[in-house]
Amino acid sequence: MRLAGLHKIYSSGHAPYVALDGVDIVISKGEFFCLLGPSGCGKSTLLNILAGFEPASGGSVTSGDVAVTRAGRERVMFFQDAGSALFPWLTVEENVRFGLRVRKVPRQERDTIVAKYLQMVSLDRHRDKFPSELSGGMRQRLQIARALAVEPEILLMDEPFGALDALTRRRMHAVLLAIWQHTGKTVVFVTHDIGEAILLGDRIGMMSAGPRSTITKVIEIDRPRPRDPTDPQLARLFHEIEALLAPDLDRSEHLDHEPAE
């Protein structure tokens, strides 16, 4: 996946707002790429453009050799708010089946695929439950199964575990890494949690705070997985990234609190 000179300008207010200003990245197939930055830096905007939900104002996004113009099942988005992303009137099984039903996949093949991915996220025992009967972690696992069932090439994840408690989040990291290693999908993972990015990513793209955000630095992490959060090398990296982000964090904090002062 290649992003070149990507711009995004919102012109709805009285002054046009430049959200993204010249983003260039190349994400290779099978890579786990984290986008890290302070809140409001345009990470989600960038991900929406990658998914094809929003058009870029300038620059290009290509996936393979094809320009991304609209959303499609080769790039599946994974949302933080599972409550509104899932189909609450469908059971676990029916949620996973949705992407196959809209493509009119034959019944038998459909059932095999659904069973396979439900098993992969260990939800096969809960197949007849409704999303409202699931815990937060189970809902996110259901989202993973539903996404994998359409056999995408890229998983786009927008702070997917941000709403989970710390323990569940740790478990979800393990689940996601296992699935990633098993299926060889490309993952673009947006987060504002440095620790999360370090534990998961092959590379971390650091974004500056908006407006006019861009990728300021790409950090490579070649530590073996599963990674230990107490690994001294990772700890050093954590501090390094924290120091890099500090000026931006101060800036975005300041902007956030200005009206309250």
Q: Which is nearer to other proteins, 16 or 83 (CB)?
A: 83
DSSP the chain: -EEEEEEEEE-SSSS-EEEEEEEEEE--TT-EEEEE--TTSSHHHHHHHHHTSS--SEEEEEETTEE--S--TTEEEE-S-HHHHS-TTS-HHHHHHHHHHTTT--HHHHHHHHHHHHHHTT-GGGTTS-GGGS-HHHHHHHHHHHHHHT--SEEEEESTTTTS-HHHHHHHHHHHHHHHHHH--EEEEEES-HHHHHHH-SEEEEEPPSSSB-EEEEEE----SSPPTT-HHHHHHHHHHHHHHHHHHHHHHHHHHGGG-
Q: Which is nearer to other proteins, 118 or 194 (CB)?
A: 118
Q: Which is nearer to other proteins, 125 or 254 (CB)?
A: 125
Is 71 a binding residue for other proteins by CB under 8 A? The answer is yes
Sole window of 18-26, 99-107, 218-226, 236-244 interacting with other proteins (rule: CB under 8 A): 99-107
Which position has the token pair 């947006």? 190
Sole window of 8-16, 31-39, 66-74, 205-213 interacting with other proteins (rule: CB under 8 A): 66-74
Among 26, 29, 103, 107, binds other proteins (CB under 8 A): 103
Least distance CB 129 / other proteins (angstroms): 9
Q: Which is nearer to other proteins, 103 or 217 (CB)?
A: 103
Nearest-5° Cα angle at 178, 30 to 189: 55
Least distance CB 252 / other proteins (angstroms): 24
Sole window of 26-34, 125-133, 199-207, 236-244 interacting with other proteins (rule: CB under 8 A): 125-133
**Of 61, 75, 65, 63, nearest to 3 (Cα)?**
61
Is 53 a binding residue for other proteins by CB under 8 A? The answer is yes
Is 131 a binding residue for other proteins by CB under 8 A? The answer is yes
Q: Which is nearer to other proteins, 149 or 241 (CB)?
A: 149
The footprint of other proteins on residues 79-98 (CB under 8 A) is 79, 81, 83-90, 98
Least distance CB 254 / other proteins (angstroms): 30
Point out which residues pair with 17 in neighbouring strands: 10
**Spatial strand order in the sheet of 186-191:** 75-78, 154-158, 186-191, 32-36, 203-207, 215-220
Is 108 a binding residue for other proteins by CB under 8 A? The answer is no
Q: Which is nearer to other proteins, 157 or 221 (CB)?
A: 157
Is 72 a binding residue for other proteins by CB under 8 A? The answer is yes
# residues near other proteins by CB under 8 A: 30
The footprint of other proteins (CB under 8 A) covers 51, 53, 71-73, 75-77, 79, 81, 83-90, 98-99, 102-103, 130-133, 146-147, 150, 152
